[in-house]
Amino acid sequence: MGLGEKESSNWERNQEAIGSLVKKTTKGYSMKILVTGGSGMLGTAVKETIKNHELIPTDIHELDVRKVEDIKTYERKMPDLIIHLAAETDLEKCENNPAHAYMTNHTGTLNMTLMARRLDIPIVYISTAGVFNGEKDSYTEYDTPDPMNHYGMSKWYGEMAVRSYHKHWIFRAGWMMGGGELIDKKFVNLVYAQIKAGKRLIYGLSDIYGSPTYTKDLAMTIENVISAKAEYGVYHSGGMGRASRYDVAKTIVEALGVDVTVTPVKNGFFQKDFFCPRSKSEVLENTKLNAMNLSLMRSWKETVIEYVKKDFKKT
C-alpha cells in the first residue's frame, strides 16, 4: 500500500470514530450548561438549538461577568460546562472606551475561565476574525493574530485568558447574523432598518470582506464539537465563502424581493458613524472543523437568504 493510500484510510477511520462518538454522547449524556450573555444574538440561537442538555442561561442582570459576587452565585450551581458568550460587541463603544472593552472582554473572560478551572470543567469562548490585521485574503487557525482595534485586542486578550486553562474550545466567528429585528445588532438588521424606513438607495462597502456567520449554524456546530468531545483548542467557524458588505446587502434586497438599489462604496464612506478601524479581510477558513468533519456551517449566501426570509418581512 502506498503512503497516500495509508494516510487516507487512517483519516477515514478517524471520521468513523468521531461519528460514533457524536451519536453515543448526544443520546445518553445530559450536562448542566451555564451560558453567559444568553440574551444576545448567539445566546438566543444557543437556547433554541441545544435541547439535549439542561441550560442555565443568564444575562448581564443575573450574571455580570465583571462581578465576582455574581460569579460565586452561579458557581454554586455546579455546571458541567460553561458557554461564555458575554461580551461588549459594539466596536465604536470599545474604541471610545477601551477600559470598558478590556474589563468586559478580557477580565470578564478571565473570571469565567477561573470559574471553569475551580470546577474542573470545560469552557467555550467565542472569539472573532477581528483578531487578525486583514493583510491576508483569508485566515486559518495557524495564522498569527494582530488586532487593529480595541475590540479585536480585547477579544484576543480574552482568548489568551481562556488558553491559560487547557479545557477550552475557542470558536472564531465572522460577521454575526441572527435573532431578527429585535435582537440582531449587526449588519443585516442595519440594512433592514434602512429598507423599513423607506430608503430606496442604500450603500454597501465593496472593498472589505468577511465570512457572514449565521448564529443557528454556529450554535449547531458548537454543540457538535462538544458532543464529539473534540480535541480542545481553537476552531475557525465562519460561514463558508467570502462576501463584501455590498454582496450581503444585495443578497438581503434580493431575498426580501424589494425594489431597492444597492450601490458599492469604498472603505471610509461611513467614517462618521463607524470610525473604528476595520481590517480589509475578516475571511475565515474553517480548516480544522472541516478536516474533522464537524462543521455545520453553510455558505454565507444560503444562510443570509434563509435568515432574511425567516425573520424579516417585506415592507
Which range, of 21-29, 33-41, 162-170, 242-250, touches ligand NAP by CB under 6 A? 33-41
Q: Which three cell numbers stand for residue 205?
A: 462597502
Least distance from ligand NAP to the Cβ atom of residue 309, Å = 21
Can you tell me which of 113, 128, 211, 295 binds ligand NAP, judged by CB under 6 A? Answer: 128
> Measured between alpha carbons, how far is 172 from 237 in angstroms, rounded to an integer?
6
* Calpha distance 163→264 (Å, rounded): 40
Pairing of strands 168-173, 233-236: parallel
By rule CB under 6 A, what string of x and - marks binding of each residue 77-116 to ligand NAP? --------xxxxx--------------x---x--------
| 130-189 positions binding ligand NAP, by CB under 6 A | 155, 173, 175-176, 185-186
| Piece in contact with ligand NAP (CB under 6 A), picked from 11-19, 31-39, 190-198, 249-257 | 31-39
Residue type, 263: T
β-pair type (243-244, 209-210): antiparallel
Comparison of 225 and 260: residue with beta carbon closer to ligand NAP: 225
CB of 219 to ligand NAP, least distance (A): 10
Nearest CA-CA partner of 106 in 51, 151, 69: 151
Amino acid making up residue 11 = W
Question: SS3 for 240?
Answer: strand
Minimum gap (Å) between residue 199 Cβ and ligand NAP: 23
146 DSSP 8-state letter: -
Question: Hey, which residues between 38 and 67 contact ligand NAP (CB under 6 A)?
Answer: 39-43, 59-60, 63-66
What's the closest the beta carbon of residue 264 comes to ligand NAP, in angstroms? 22
Task: State the number of binding residues for ligand NAP (CB under 6 A).
Answer: 28
Phi, psi of 169 (to 5 degrees): -120, 120
CB distance 315 to 274 below 8 Å: no
DSSP 3-state of 263? strand
CB of 60 to ligand NAP, least distance (A): 4
**Positions in the binding site for ligand NAP (CB under 6 A):** 36-37, 39-43, 59-60, 63-66, 85-89, 104, 108, 126, 128, 155, 173, 175-176, 185-186
